[in-house]
Every structure is written in structure tokens, then in C-alpha cells.
């Protein structure tokens, strides 16, 4: 199949981590453990937020939706990647490949929008605390989440329609563990200039707009924090933003490295490692990032520990 260049490709071969044949079983166990922890930790955080009335605020509403998004996000990649570890021929159909990228892209674009919405939520909470509940009303929160999902879906749908118009005539080997856009464009026999322009426009709309909203929100937040006279007040305000800033930096930083860095030569292995970060590692880290320094979540955990202990004894 890889040698034919005069026919349409119906299957791709995913190389995955075939460059480490001696570490196959070890890598399988590592990624299986990461996937199970990702699902369990995010499900646990969603459950805690829904069951504890003290956490029924806009901030934790967005956080629970981010956790649900991360579960879906990692599930578009991890199960297929895990099953490929022990396959001699890691085939994926053209339809399966394009649909994997569609769902992955849709969820990724949605997360961009949701992270921007969470930054605006922190701006409203710190810069306008007296009007916070009025600004971030339940209807606005639900509309923001729904709008993020719809926007991400249609942004990915545009890419899918353009991707289906490309012709693939060989080779059909993808040096990656999932069907990502840069690798698919390399294999296309069609002129991809229009697709690249369209992708750049979508990157500006989603990536740069989200980053701009986040930067403007945190510009106002920093200005407000500097006006707080007490050190305790500044520390409390900063702690509410530190987790979100960490998650934003990891998500956008790894994404920029993969999609802006040249896909040639030695960079392929580096891009693959960066892809592991934003597709597998970050969804696992997000519940930890938002929980470790969060007093309200720690208090909620302690309350439920006491309730469980009282039920058992």
C-alpha cells in the first residue's frame, strides 16, 4: 500500500511508539495507568462538585465541565493508542482516521473557548466581587459552555469538510500515535495551501482570540490584586488564579510547540512527545492542578470524609 501512488488510500498505518520495541509493555502499562487515573480523577472531581452544595458556583460549574471535556478528549486518543501497542499491523481506516481527528479537534477547540471563559469568570470574581453573582448568572454559565461546544464543533466541522476533499495516494504511514493534522497534510497528494490558510484563520479565531481574552482578563486581575492592601488578601486572590494559569500555560504551550514547530527531521520525535503532553498528560494533571492548592475543594473532601466515616461507624 505504501508504494502505490496512483490509487486512493483507504487505510493508514500508525507507527505509534514503534521506535521503542523493547519498551512496548512498559509504555502500555504507563499509558494505561495514566488513562485510568485521568478518568477516575476527573469523574471524582465532577462527583464532588455535584454532591457538595458549597461548590455550586460558576467557577466549579466551569471546572466540572472542563473535567468532563478532558475525559472525552483523552478517550478519543488513549483507547486506540493502547490497543495498538500489541498489534503487528496498526491499521486505521481513512474514515476512522478523519473522524478521530474531527472529535479530537472539536474537543480541543472547545477547551480553548472554555479556558477563556474560565479566565473571564476569574476576572468577574476578583475585579467585580459585589456584582459577581449577577454577572455570572446560571443562564450565562450554561450559555457559555453550550456556546463553547457549538463553536468547537463547527470549527472542527469546517476542517473535516476540507480534509475530506484532499486526495491521499500514498505513502500511507503516519509517524504518530493518532491521526493528527500535520501528519495528514504531509501525506496528502493534493495542494494543501488553501487548507493551511484556512487552518491559520481558525487558529487566529480560536487560539489567539482565546489567549487574548485570557491575557486581558489577567491584566485587569493583576491590576486589581496590586491594589489589595493586605498580603493575605493578595495571596488568596492569586491562589484562585494560579491553577487556571498553570493549566492554560501547559495546554497552549504544548499545542503551540506541536503546530508551530516544523514537522521535519529530528522534530518529529519532539512533536510526538509534546503531543503526549497535551493529549494524555494534561487531562490527567488538570484535576490535580485545580485541587492541590484549592482550599474549598480540600474542605469539601474533608466534609465527605467525615460523612463517609460517620456512615461506616
Mean pLDDT (whole number) for 235-251: 83
| pLDDT > 60? residue 257 | yes
Of 189-203, 230-244, 298-312, which one has max mean pLDDT? 189-203
Q: Is 234 exposed, middle or buried (CB count within 10 Å of its CB: 0-12, 13-18, 19+)?
A: middle
How many other CB atoms are found less than 10 A from the CB of residue 216? 14
Contact assessment for residue 64 and residue 122, using Cβ atoms and an 8 Å cutoff: no
Domain boundaries, given as residue ranges, for the chain? 13-312
User: What integer pLDDT is reported at residue 21 of this predicted model?
Assistant: 83
Contact assessment for residue 123 and residue 222, using Cβ atoms and an 8 Å cutoff: no
| pLDDT > 90? residue 15 | no
| Pairwise CA distance, residues 160 & 76, whole Å | 16
User: What integer pLDDT is reported at residue 261 of this predicted model?
Assistant: 59
User: What integer pLDDT is reported at residue 39 of this predicted model?
Assistant: 95
Position 243 confidence tier, pLDDT thresholds 50, 70, 90: confident
Mean pLDDT (whole number) for 73-90: 90
| pLDDT > 70? residue 262 | no
User: What integer pLDDT is reported at residue 268 of this predicted model?
Assistant: 62
User: What integer pLDDT is reported at residue 267 of this predicted model?
Assistant: 57
Average pLDDT over all residues of the chain: 85
User: What integer pLDDT is reported at residue 303 of this predicted model?
Assistant: 81
| Pairwise CA distance, residues 177 & 285, whole Å | 20
Mean pLDDT (whole number) for 57-71: 94
User: What integer pLDDT is reported at residue 2 of this predicted model?
Assistant: 41
Q: Which residues of 26-41 are buried (b: 16+ CB within 10 A; e: fewer)?
A: ebbeebeebbeebbeb
CATH topology of domain 13-312: Rhopdopsin 7-helix transmembrane proteins (1.20.1070)
User: What integer pLDDT is reported at residue 231 of this predicted model?
Assistant: 76
| 89-144 pLDDT, tens digit each | 888 999 999 999 999 999 999 999 999 999 999 999 888 888 998 999 999 999 99
Position 217 confidence tier, pLDDT thresholds 50, 70, 90: very high
Position 312 confidence tier, pLDDT thresholds 50, 70, 90: low
Mean pLDDT (whole number) for 223-238: 79
User: What integer pLDDT is reported at residue 156 of this predicted model?
Assistant: 92
| 141-172 pLDDT, tens digit each | 999 999 999 999 999 999 898 888 888 887 88
> Percentage of the chain with pLDDT > 70?
92
Amino acid at each position: 500500500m505504501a508504494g502505490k501512488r496512483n490509487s486512493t488510500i483507504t487505510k493508514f498505518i500508525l507507527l505509534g511508539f514503534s521506535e521503542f520495541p523493547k519498551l512496548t509493555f512498559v509504555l502500555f502499562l504507563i499509558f494505561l495507568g495514566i488513562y485510568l487515573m485521568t478518568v477516575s480523577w476527573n469523574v471524582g472531581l465532577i462527583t464532588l462538585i455535584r454532591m457538595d452544595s458549597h461548590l455550586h458556583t460558576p467557577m466549579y460549574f466551569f471546572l466540572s465541565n472542563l473535567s468532563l471535556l478532558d475525559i472525552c478528549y483523552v478517550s478519543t486518543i488513549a483507547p486506540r493508542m493502547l490497543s495498538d501497542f500489541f498489534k503487528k499491523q496498526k491499521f486505521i481506516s481513512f474514515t476512522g482516521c478523519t473522524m478521530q481527528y474531527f472529535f479530537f479537534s472539536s474537543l480541543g477547540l472547545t477547551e480553548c473557548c472554555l479556558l477563556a471563559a474560565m479566565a473571564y469568570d476569574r476576572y468577574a470574581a476578583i475585579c467585580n466581587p459585589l456584582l459577581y453573582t449577577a454577572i455570572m448568572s446560571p443562564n450565562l454559565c450554561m450559555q457559555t459552555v453550550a456556546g463553547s461546544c457549538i463553536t468547537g464543533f463547527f470549527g472542527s466541522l469546517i476542517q473535516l469538510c476540507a480534509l475530506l476533499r484532499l486526495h491521499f495516494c500514498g505513502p500511507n504511514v503516519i509517524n504518530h500515535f493518532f491521526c493528527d493534522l500535520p501528519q495528514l497534510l504531509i501525506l496528502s497528494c493534493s495542494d494543501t495551501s488553501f487548507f493551511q490558510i484556512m487552518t491559520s484563520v481558525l487558529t487566529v479565531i480560536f487560539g489567539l482570540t482565546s489567549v487574548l481574552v485570557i491575557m486581558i482578563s489577567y491584566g485587569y486581575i493583576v491590576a486589581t490584586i496590586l491594589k489589595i492592601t493586605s498580603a493575605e488578601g493578595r495571596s488568596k486572590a492569586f491562589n484562585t488564579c494560579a491553577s487556571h494559569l498553570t493549566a492554560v500555560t501547559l495546554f497552549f504551550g504544548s499545542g503551540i510547540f506541536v503546530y508551530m514547530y516544523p514537522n521535519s527531521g529530528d522534530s518529529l520525535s519532539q512533536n510526538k512527545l509534546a503531543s503526549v503532553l497535551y493529549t494524555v498528560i494534561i487531562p490527567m494533571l488538570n484535576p490535580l492542578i485545580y485541587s492541590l492548592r484549592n482550599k474549598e475543594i480540600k474542605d469539601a473532601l474533608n466534609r465527605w470524609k467525615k460523612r463517609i466515616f460517620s456512615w461506616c461507624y
